[in-house]
Structure 1
Amino acid sequence: MSTPATPARCPALVIAAPASGQGKTTVAAALARLHTRAGRRVRVFKCGPDHLDPHWHELASGAPVHPLDLWLTGEHDCRARLHAAAHEADLILIEGVMGLFDGQLSVAELARRLGIPVLAVIDASAMGGTLGALVHGLRSYWPDLPWAGVLANRVAGARHADMLRAGLRDASDWLGAVPSVAGPQEQPGRQSRPAALLPERQLGLVAARELPDALARLDAAADALQATPLGRMTAQDWQRWAVEFPPPAPSASAAPAPLLAGRRIAVAQDEAFCLIYRANLDVLRQLGAQVACFAPLRGEPLPACDALWLPGGFPELHAPALAAQSALREQLRQHIAAGKPIWAEGGGMVALLGGITLPDGSRAPLWDLLPGHATLHTRLQALGMRVLQWPDAAGLRGHSFHYSSTDTAVPIVAQAVRPDPADGAAGAEPVYRHGSIHASYFHAWFASEPQVVARLLGAA
């Protein structure tokens, strides 16, 4: 990633909340869509490890979305990406994760270090004057936190909005009230209930590309936001939140050596294998690899390749279609028999198993190329940052987030553990090896240790 050597100034906001589920993804995407419709260039980022919210932000802004995280991607990467974005954008939006102050390297810490004002999105559907106390607490908990104001979400009407606004100690904090914006009705008729505007399932939001009316949903949210003081602000008004992004200091880490030069890496990429950081593909290219993406669900064959990356996704939602790809399964079997590497993470690993038991007790067959069986649970099985311990390496950083568990006798060759040494082996994610396959629930951020990625994909 190359960036200009000059500073850049651009309006920017961190869109945060006191907790998850307040509607910050919808607000961030709606704000991006509102300004993109007006002809402005918008760049959106997402705090923390998240593959799904960025689908909505990319649709809303028409631009790539990358994660920002002080631990996972590192402060230097955050500064470099924001500096580059500020040179090409009219507006930068950063969606937070969880609550504003949650975690040692929280969204608030990111905002404070980078000097970016915080817009608090608060679900006010069941409160009145208490909104003022909550806003006061968020704003004053850290006196040096850059602050923009509050947007009350899921508000019942004008009278409710007046009650909320009256509770604020500082009238300038008020940036408006947004009503609940429902998606299409689940069923026609008087008894139907409105569905969520951005629908969810176990691992998070449904990806935007899975919904044919995704853009119409964003337009509905943008229209609602346009009626607020925040939505009516002009480009000149936004200059109050302009931030200067200096060029990042020279990185202490050198560019990755071309350990995969001359090698072709196939990457599965479709609705079943959709949890991909764009930056990971960039790292493969920086390592010298040629990247060839293909869509198993569409019957596309395995490209001629030296190694294969099976990213995370939702194989359980597409198990019959995957199992029906007998020609691809045979190509994968031959790939493994030839000793060619496969790195399979999350759903990519599950797809290689013999099958998966669903919450209703039914069993769906899968590719049966990795001994073992998965079970999909209704409760989360693991969540959080992990670091893969690998010989002669500082550690490949990433995260774990899955509802399934795997029963397998395949040997464990490494562990992805929590970053805090005090946690010991608690919550460790095994890395399994079966022939040329390495597989784990661990999702890697390739740039943190490119040489480990290169080894997993067959580099000497």
Structure 2
Amino acid sequence: MSFLIAAPASGSGKTTITLGLLRALSQDGITLRGAKSGPDYIDPRFHEAACGQPCLNLDAWAMSADRIQSLASGSPLIVEGAMGLFDGAPPDGKGACADLARQLNLPVVLVVDASRMAQSIAPIVKGFAIHDPSITIAGVILNKVGSPRHEAMLRHALRDTGISVIGAIPRNTALVQPSRHLGLVQAQERPDLDRYLSQAADIVREHLDLTLLPKLSPLSGAPTTRITPPAQSIAIARDAAFAFAYPHLLDDWQSAGATIQTFSPLANDPVPAADLIYLPGGYPELHAARLASNTRFLTSLQTAAKTTDIYGECGGYMALGETLTDADGHRHKMAGLLALNTSFAKRKLHLGYRSITASTGPFAGSWTAHEFHYATTTSATGQSLFQAQDAMGDTLADMGLISGRVSGSFAHIIDRA
């Protein structure tokens, strides 16, 4: 059996505890993987660093139950939930990590930020335990505990709930991770990452009774239909500015015989010869000046656009535009392949699941996707790429642009609809 780490709300400490458990158990010689519930490019890379195994996304809104079961099959999983246990897309919470727990029959370890409560923890934990009979709360981890006296009060309050207290982790500012507007600072940008993960493992060992965790065993699942690659040879931008590509999509493409090579726009690499050039999302806004000065990369991209399909997703889409204005108001010239101008000078959050359909381009067809960015589109002219709906099925404005062989949008594709 595998298990899910969940909480009543965001900010409870799920990521740190998940990383500590992955590192500690892998140090004990257990082969296991991490997974993240929902759309997230950043946390799974931390999971991989913690346990040394490829980690994945499991999305109960965007993926079918069969697809989830197939992806999850293999060595034991510790799944990190997103937001609160029952929090999902409107109107009814579809896609909550509780949906994953049901589909994969995962017991839940509930992490509770106890920093501002004492006896009130009992009705919170009990409420989560009885809210949905199909969900099993296997134990609770008390996080951000103020003192031994505080811990004793919490444990006493929970004594009649019938739910095991796996442990109590004290407040520790050293475990606070640096973040920016799209989440944590990326794993590859943390020179102290290994030390941090080992410290998290040490704290988990000291303060949790690991024998009270649900037992770890492999998950089984039948293979499902994989996504046909958009081209037979694909060149993918990969560096700190373009790091947001879903591994399950790349695995699908390679399993179907596509060849994948990577290049770094930040290193001023020329675009390799390929049938498709794919610029995924990331943080081009943090590196806009450098990208604008990397003429070898930009010139090769502009040349390739005459004979090769090019697709940009979110950050990659912005890089294909004419200009990108950074948070300080400085405007930087981009590739100029789409009539698009974007800005971070006045940030606006765009967030939510999307159902998108394109009639042309490398990703023609219907897809599940998500949007998460703070960019403002100051101008965009030309043919739209996708028709779009939100999670409730309401029609949105068309998304993205297509011009000749170049296309892109702010939507991050997750799976076939």
Q: Return the TM-score normalized by structure 1.
A: 0.83
Alignment of 1:274-423 (within 5 A): 274-336=243-305, 338-376=306-344, 380-391=348-359, 395-406=366-377, 407-421=379-393, 423=394
1:115 counterpart letter in structure 2: N
Answering whether residue 77 of structure 2 is matched by residue 92 of structure 1, we say yes
CA, structure 1 residues 391+316, in 2 after alignment: closer, same or farther (shift >3 Å)? Answer: closer
- Partners of 1:259 and 1:326 lie apart in 2 by 27
> How many residue pairs get matched?
407
Q: Which runs of 5+ in 2 are unaligned?
A: 88-92
1:67 deviates by 0.8
Q: Would you say the 8 A contact 1:153–1:180 is kept in 2?
A: yes
- Partners of 1:149 and 1:387 lie apart in 2 by 36
1:143 deviates by 2.3
- Partners of 1:40 and 1:246 lie apart in 2 by 18
- Partners of 2:281 and 2:246 lie apart in 1 by 10
1:358 deviates by 2.9
1:105 deviates by 3.2
Measured against aligned partners, the alpha-carbon deviations of 1:396-418 in whole angstroms (never above 9, x if no partner) come to: 11111111022222321322322
Q: Would you say the 8 A contact 1:121–1:153 is kept in 2?
A: yes
SS in 1 for 2:172: coil
1:280 counterpart letter in structure 2: L
Q: Which runs of 4 or more aligned residues in structure 1 lie more than 4 Å from their structure 2 counterparts after TM superposition? A: 255-259, 377-380
Map of 1:204 onto structure 2: 183
- Partners of 1:107 and 1:136 lie apart in 2 by 18
- Partners of 2:258 and 2:70 lie apart in 1 by 23
- Partners of 2:161 and 2:370 lie apart in 1 by 39
CA, structure 1 residues 320+360, in 2 after alignment: closer, same or farther (shift >3 Å)? Answer: closer
- Partners of 1:272 and 1:333 lie apart in 2 by 19
- Partners of 1:246 and 1:334 lie apart in 2 by 47
Measured against aligned partners, the alpha-carbon deviations of 1:47-66 in whole angstroms (never above 9, x if no partner) come to: 00100111110100111111
SS in 1 for 2:208: coil
SS in 1 for 2:272: coil
Measured against aligned partners, the alpha-carbon deviations of 1:177-213 in whole angstroms (never above 9, x if no partner) come to: 1123334xxxxxxxxxxxx632111011111110100
1:182 counterpart letter in structure 2: T
Alignment of 1:146-157 (within 5 A): 146-157=136-147
1:39 deviates by 1.7
1:219 counterpart letter in structure 2: S
Measured against aligned partners, the alpha-carbon deviations of 1:215-254 in whole angstroms (never above 9, x if no partner) come to: 11111111111112334x2xxx65x545674443x74x4x
Measured against aligned partners, the alpha-carbon deviations of 1:31-84 in whole angstroms (never above 9, x if no partner) come to: 101111222112111100100111110100111111112231221122122222
Answering whether residue 207 of structure 2 is matched by residue 228 of structure 1, we say yes
1:120 counterpart letter in structure 2: L
Match of 1:29 among 2, 19, 24: 19
CA, structure 1 residues 442+247, in 2 after alignment: closer, same or farther (shift >3 Å)? Answer: closer
Map of 1:125 onto structure 2: 115
- Partners of 2:238 and 2:52 lie apart in 1 by 19
- Partners of 1:395 and 1:246 lie apart in 2 by 28
SS in 2 for 1:412: coil
Map of 1:6 onto structure 2: none
Q: Return the TM-score normalized by structure 2.
A: 0.91
SS in 2 for 1:119: strand
- Partners of 2:13 and 2:208 lie apart in 1 by 18
- Partners of 1:160 and 1:429 lie apart in 2 by 53
1:325 deviates by 0.9
1:176 deviates by 1.1
Measured against aligned partners, the alpha-carbon deviations of 1:298-322 in whole angstroms (never above 9, x if no partner) come to: 2322111122000000001111221
CA, structure 1 residues 71+172, in 2 after alignment: closer, same or farther (shift >3 Å)? Answer: closer
CA, structure 1 residues 205+429, in 2 after alignment: closer, same or farther (shift >3 Å)? Answer: farther
Map of 2:97 onto structure 1: 107
1:350 counterpart letter in structure 2: M
1:290 deviates by 1.5
Map of 2:395 onto structure 1: 424
CA, structure 1 residues 115+319, in 2 after alignment: closer, same or farther (shift >3 Å)? Answer: same
- Partners of 1:258 and 1:152 lie apart in 2 by 45
SS in 2 for 1:270: coil
- Partners of 2:204 and 2:348 lie apart in 1 by 33
1:285 deviates by 2.1
Q: Which 10-residue stretch deviates more, 282-291 or 109-118?
A: 282-291
Q: Would you say the 8 A contact 2:240–2:282 is kept in 1?
A: yes
Map of 2:90 onto structure 1: none
- Partners of 1:419 and 1:28 lie apart in 2 by 28
- Partners of 2:230 and 2:47 lie apart in 1 by 33
- Partners of 2:356 and 2:368 lie apart in 1 by 6
Q: Would you say the 8 A contact 1:56–1:208 is kept in 2?
A: yes
SS in 2 for 1:304: coil
SS in 1 for 2:84: coil
CA, structure 1 residues 258+335, in 2 after alignment: closer, same or farther (shift >3 Å)? Answer: closer
CA, structure 1 residues 299+180, in 2 after alignment: closer, same or farther (shift >3 Å)? Answer: farther
CA, structure 1 residues 418+16, in 2 after alignment: closer, same or farther (shift >3 Å)? Answer: same
Q: Would you say the 8 A contact 1:258–1:286 is kept in 2?
A: no
SS in 1 for 2:61: helix
1:22 counterpart letter in structure 2: S
1:154 counterpart letter in structure 2: K
Measured against aligned partners, the alpha-carbon deviations of 1:377-412 in whole angstroms (never above 9, x if no partner) come to: 665521111121134976111111111022222321
Answering whether residue 174 of structure 2 is matched by residue 162 of structure 1, we say no
SS in 2 for 1:395: strand
Q: Would you say the 8 A contact 1:429–1:441 is kept in 2?
A: no
Q: Would you say the 8 A contact 1:69–1:75 is kept in 2?
A: no
